[in-house]
Structure 1
Amino acid sequence: MPFPDSPLEFRDWAYLPPEIVELISTKVKSIKDYVRFRTVCSSWFSASLPKLRHHPPQLPWLMLPYNPFKPGDSSWLVFYDFWGYKMHKFHIPLSNDTTCYASFRGWLLLVGSEGEEALLLNPITQARIQLPPFTDRIEKTFANCKLTFSANLTDGNCMITVFPKRSRLLFCCRVGDSCWTRYDCRLNGTTKLADVTYSNGLLYSLYEGDMMIYESNKLVQKIVLEPKLRTATKCFLEGKSGVYVLALHPMKNIELYQFDEQFLELRLISDTSNKAIFYADNSPCLAVSTDDWDSLDGGSVYLDYNCSSDAWKSAVESPYRIYCAQWGNASIRHVVQDPSKKRRWPLEPAMWFQPSFF
């Protein structure tokens, strides 16, 4: 496309040279803004890459378990970005019987009410990966679910693992498989599994008193947890620096541990000034480094507050609230209140979603 000769025509940004458009695109840090950038016009679309690897880790959005704009319409997924104080809506023309059960690395696990339909969806790119159907009782076992991958989904050996926390079962498959491989994940037939995650291709499983590490379904290491961790509510964190464990003790004291691969032990992190934890009721957690985010408080835990169990009795509207707590401090400060003010009890818990192209 020729560049206009008249200075007045320079107001039409569609005529910017492709190399300038590409340079500008690299300065856009928000994934949602980058998607909008590419839809400005055809010349901007062709001059920018479909996915930029320069994007820093995106701060999580809170995925709401309801549609505040059109109640009962599940064809829209609604997220609240409380860093930008705005809502994001994505139209997903799927069956109304399809429910989102988990989120991991920018992907959502969507499962039909009877398990006959299961897929992974990236709401940013609209990419979909069909999964084998589930034959177990989805409506009960999948109400509280963990999704994790052993590698990037483009890796042919990537193992997709689904762990319904109210079940003793673990489901695993690869992209293209026709069925799930099902495992009974009780330890010694009695102790239930608390959480699972992958790191460097190894599967980590967390029990009441032990952490087990598996490679290709073979146990390679067993770590006995210290006594005070046995009574704590524990879960894995998805971080880039290895395996983390978040421990919530009976007195509501929160501690963060990191697994030392050299000495094969969990070590308490005493300096949490550059870490933030995102925790939603009954859903997986995220660990985010605060180094690149001036607006993010270090040493903090961001919590989704699921309204009180008494709310359903009066059938009154009860909003979501997001709070921020400091490690070692019992006080909790209010961050934001329900953006829609239309939430009613009871509802499935919200979940954190970290936008990603990949």
Structure 2
Amino acid sequence: MTATRELVGAAERTPGPGWSDLPGDLLESVLGRLPLTDRLRFPAVCTGWRSAAAVSAALVQAVGVQSPWLMLPFNPTAHGQMQHASVSTCSEARFLSLDDGRTYGIPQPAPAVSDRLCIGSSPDGWLVTADAASELHLLNPLTRVQVQLPPPTTLPFVHARHAADGRVVSYSIQCCFDDDGNGGDGDAAVVVPSESFALDRLRFELYEKAILVSAPRKRQTGSWDGYAVMLICQPLSRLAIARAGDSRWTLLDTPSRRWVDAVRASSAVGAGGRQLVYALDSAGRVEAWDVDATTPTREAVAPACCCCSGRACSMSGACGRYLVELSPGRLLQVHRLREAAHARYRCEPRPERVEYTTVDAELFEWTDDGRWNPLDGKNAGVLSGHALFLGKNASLCVPVDGCRPELKGNCVYFTDDGPWSHDRCREVAPDVGVLELADGTYRPPRGAARDLLWKWPPPVWVFPSCADD
């Protein structure tokens, strides 16, 4: 018995292999199979795991689109969210994970994330943000990498006023268009007097939506290459594009169209591997833009969608349109219907204080017979295994499978993007939630109700990724 106890004691005193001793290739293999939130925790275990995470960062690629996060508004009353008592600036972004209903705070690079407006996001994990000076940046909020985009003054209708020391102190927008509505070259040009805006105000008036056509790729020199961004911008909802290496935005020649949404096509659609972008105008027409060409070209895809219900037409002021690609070349147009949140009250508040809420969505699929055919959302159909994520920053169809029990098929996940989100986004509660098409119910995302009491920055859907190409 004494000998047995001695052997057991010796075994307990002899250090054996532990979790920190696992081979690096095994750790990398495990890391690639973990959910995103666990990948974030992985480097904190020990130095060995931190090293494995750093080595495998470039190899960890998401399979399809990650389960989306909701980027939450800034809470000025929360402990630690203000750097200074008198200045509401915060360097930490907060995200609600739909996987587990938990909130995660992630430090971000300057400028402060609480001063940024997000106008675009992509399934690659990148955001397009506009800071307090209305400058645009590509940002991966998980890896904290950011890339500066060309300044707004490189758009032909945006001008800056400088102080004596060279600082930009305000912007102005001048609108010039042809009164024949056809973008002709005649002498019918009409110039609207310019309007001046404060530095942070320009972003509300100028930027409608940004579409990341291709994600940045890191070069051996450490710089970022290969990216392209399409911008829907005011006045007149024009299209502009900027690619890696560009010092200015290139305005695309569409003076007589009003573009409301765009989505990059699946790679299988582009002939010869060329990247296409589908763009939707306010009449429901769709065109495919070849943005890989030196001078981007376009081709008509679908005519106007004139099949809105009478209810949608009567609500045209509060009806938003979106374009989604269900599968390569298969397009879905979504009409989002809103009504005044206070409509049930006898005494309406002042018009400038009216809030809107989503009440329904109408779906139209572009079919081979050359028509937009309405779909009955109550019977699921094409969306039975998919969820739509729509808003100011993204239009994306996400498959729902057994690995994502938190996502429901035949649902539309919305964030706010009405005109009031520009003018009064710091005052009006955001219209953010999940619309179940089967029964028309609309609710806030699980775990987000309290955070949506705050209003700035406007919440947006994010598709997180730890991998930088």
TM-score with structure 2 setting the length: 0.62
**SS of residue paired to 2:382:** coil
CA displacement at 1:290 relative to structure 2: 0.5
The aligned counterpart of 2:378 is none
CA displacement at 1:223 relative to structure 2: 2.1
Count matched residues: 338
Query: What is the percentage of aligned positions where both structures have the same residue?
Result: 22
Deviations 1:212-254 (A, max 9, x none): 2232322333421342059574212366644533322668342
**SS of residue paired to 2:93:** strand
Pairwise mapping of residues 111-260 of structure 1 onto structure 2 (< 5 A)?
A: 111-115=130-134, 117-135=135-153, 136=158, 138-142=202-206, 144-149=208-213, 151-154=214-217, 158-164=227-233, 167-183=236-252, 185-186=254-255, 189=256, 191-199=257-265, 200=270, 201-207=275-281, 208-215=283-290, 216=293, 217-229=296-308, 233-237=320-324, 241-242=328-329, 244-248=331-335, 252-255=360-363, 257=365
Tell me if structure 2 keeps the 8 A contact 1:319–1:338. Answer: no
Larger radius of gyration: 2
Q: For the residues of structure 2 that align with 1:305 and 1:112, how far apart are their CA atoms?
A: 19
The aligned counterpart of 2:186 is none
Paired residue type of 2:110: L
CA displacement at 1:62 relative to structure 2: 0.9
Paired residue type of 2:395: C
Q: For the residues of structure 2 that align with 1:171 and 1:134, how far apart are their CA atoms?
A: 11
Residue 325 (structure 1) aligned with residue 436 (structure 2)? yes
Tell me if structure 1 keeps the 8 A contact 2:73–2:451. Answer: no
Residue 45 (structure 1) aligned with residue 50 (structure 2)? yes
Paired residue type of 2:360: K
Tell me if structure 1 keeps the 8 A contact 2:389–2:397. Answer: yes
Deviations 1:290-337 (A, max 9, x none): 02423322111223479xx9xxx9x9996876334124x333355435
Paired residue type of 2:205: T
CA displacement at 1:277 relative to structure 2: 1.2
**SS of residue paired to 1:194:** strand
Q: For the residues of structure 2 that align with 1:146 and 1:139, how far apart are their CA atoms?
A: 12
Q: Structure 1: which 5+ runs fail to align?
A: none
Paired residue type of 1:25: L
Q: 1:246 to 1:22 in 2, by over 3 A?
A: same
Q: 1:166 to 1:113 in 2, by over 3 A?
A: farther
Paired residue type of 1:255: L
Residue 353 (structure 1) aligned with residue 462 (structure 2)? yes
Q: 1:258 to 1:94 in 2, by over 3 A?
A: farther
**SS of residue paired to 1:355:** coil
Paired residue type of 1:66: F
The aligned counterpart of 1:36 is 41
Paired residue type of 2:405: D
**SS of residue paired to 1:66:** coil
The aligned counterpart of 2:90 is 74
Paired residue type of 1:205: A
Q: 1:237 to 1:348 in 2, by over 3 A?
A: farther
CA displacement at 1:288 relative to structure 2: 0.4
Deviations 1:321-355 (A, max 9, x none): 6334124x33335543535457345x453110011
Q: For the residues of structure 2 that align with 1:140 and 1:184, how far apart are their CA atoms?
A: 23
The aligned counterpart of 2:3 is none
Q: For the residues of structure 2 that align with 1:95 and 1:153, how far apart are their CA atoms?
A: 20
Tell me if structure 2 keeps the 8 A contact 1:60–1:352. Answer: yes
Tell me if structure 1 keeps the 8 A contact 2:102–2:447. Answer: no
Pick aligned residue for 1:300 from 407, 411, 424: 411
Q: 1:65 to 1:163 in 2, by over 3 A?
A: farther
Instruction: Return 265-274 or 295-304, whichever deviates more.
Output: 265-274
Q: 1:226 to 1:121 in 2, by over 3 A?
A: closer
**SS of residue paired to 1:228:** coil
Q: 1:183 to 1:204 in 2, by over 3 A?
A: same
Pairwise mapping of residues 47-126 of structure 1 onto structure 2 (< 5 A)?
A: 47-48=52-53, 49-51=56-58, 52-53=60-61, 55-67=63-75, 69=78, 70=81, 72-96=88-112, 97-105=115-123, 106-115=125-134, 117-126=135-144
**SS of residue paired to 2:41:** helix
Q: For the residues of structure 2 that align with 1:304 and 1:286, how far apart are their CA atoms?
A: 12
Tell me if structure 2 keeps the 8 A contact 1:255–1:268. Answer: yes
Instruction: Return 38-47 or 119-128, whichever deviates more.
Output: 38-47
Residue 284 (structure 1) aligned with residue 433 (structure 2)? no
CA displacement at 1:65 relative to structure 2: 3.2
The aligned counterpart of 2:4 is none
Q: For the residues of structure 2 that align with 1:320 and 1:212, how far apart are their CA atoms?
A: 29
Q: 1:79 to 1:319 in 2, by over 3 A?
A: same
Q: For the residues of structure 1 that align with 2:427 and 2:250, how far apart are their CA atoms?
A: 44
Instruction: Determine which structure has greater relative contact order: mean sequence separation of CA pairs < 8 Å that are 6+ residues apart, divided by chain length.
Output: 2
Tell me if structure 2 keeps the 8 A contact 1:118–1:131. Answer: yes
- Aligned-CA RMSD value: 3.7
Tell me if structure 1 keeps the 8 A contact 2:69–2:95. Answer: yes
CA displacement at 1:33 relative to structure 2: 1.6
